[in-house]
Amino acid sequence: MLIPLPWIGTFAVATVFVVMFALGLMLGREQIAAALARRVVLAAVVFAVLVPIPALAVLVVKLFGPPPAVAAGIVLMAISPGAPVALRRALEAGGDPHFAPALHLAIVLLAVLTVPASVQVMDWIFGAEFAVTPFDIGRQVFFAQLLPLGLGAALRAARPALARAIESRVASLGNVLLLALALMALVNVPAIIGEIGWMPSLAGFGMTVAALAVGAAFAGRHGEVRWAAAVAAAMRNPGLALLIATLNHAQPSVTKAVIGYAIGLGIAMVVFLQWRKRAVVNRHRHEAARAGS
């Protein structure tokens, strides 16, 4: 391992804090109001994130019978929604900026209850004897996401002019930190794959593609929220998955399987976001051509 994982983890914490603070700077009452005006589709997408994806993971594990550590990694990732960068990815994919923040908040807040409940269900299905409390999840969610998001939103509410002035700079810093974090992770990819093989990454890639489709489908005819829904369903939270594994003293192979899944997820999201960017560019060109004619 060229860069020790604890170093990457520490850098990731700082990166997530900056990214979530930047997103908080754009979060105001209008976003919450716009999402509440779409209560039905909001509930449908939250359901898609919390129920079908874990069910799909159980089906995959039952059908393909991967090694126990790999199966545990797949299931842990599937029951861990609300990745810290999910909101940013939803906006990059063209998600409605008035809907995506409230959707992310709903998923993160509900995770405090749904993740422990999912652990109990998976324990019943697989007999894994895992356990986690709402306090464990709440603490991780609060410090990793809600605190920096809340600080950004509070600054916007108290000093809107200052928030607008620094928003682009903080967002740019977040972009630089995310790029550096990605490069640090890429350095270690060959060593990680050499230790755990390709199966967890292939599972992460396949599950992510399926989750994108599930999220988009549950958005129904609401095209303006479709891509935010797709990203919300696909982006799982490695931090939560690793927390559950750590609290239950899981074998190192389970941790490596979670990381492998995250690698596959990351590759799938890069491909998806590039496709979305091209689709947006092509649509703008088409609209410009129609306007010119």
Q: Which helix (H) or strand (E) holds 193?
A: helix 160-196
d(CA 152, CA 150): 5
d(CA 178, CA 175): 5
Domain that holds residue 252: 5-283
* Residues 215-262 pLDDT 10s: 999 998 888 789 989 999 999 999 889 889 888 888 888 888 998 999
Instruction: Give the number of other Cβ atoms within 10 Å of residue 176's Cβ.
Output: 11
Higher per-residue confidence, 95 vs 229: 229
169 lies in some domain: yes
Ramachandran class of 65: left when φ > 0, alpha when ψ lies in -120 to 50, beta otherwise: left
Pull the structure tokens for residue 28: 């105001």
* Residues 73-94 pLDDT 10s: 999 999 999 888 887 888 888 8
Give the closest residue to 71 by CA, choosing from 226, 196, 235. 196
Cβ atoms of 119 and 132 closer than 8 Å: yes
Q: What distances in angstroms separate CA 271 from CA 153, 227, 252, 274, one per listed residue? A: 31, 14, 29, 5
d(CA 59, CA 66): 12
84 lies in some domain: yes
21 lies in some domain: yes
288 lies in some domain: no
* Residues 9-61 pLDDT 10s: 788 888 888 888 988 887 777 777 777 778 888 899 999 999 999 999 999 99
Structural domain tally of the chain?
Answer: 1
292 lies in some domain: no
293 lies in some domain: no
236 lies in some domain: yes
Ramachandran class of 129: left when φ > 0, alpha when ψ lies in -120 to 50, beta otherwise: left
291 lies in some domain: no
> What mean pLDDT is predicted for residues 105-113?
88
Give the closest residue to 192 by CA, choosing from 278, 123, 260. 260
Which CATH number covers residue 116? Answer: 1.20.1530.20
Instruction: Work out the end-to-end distance of the chain between its first and last CA atoms, rounded to an integer number of angstroms.
Output: 58
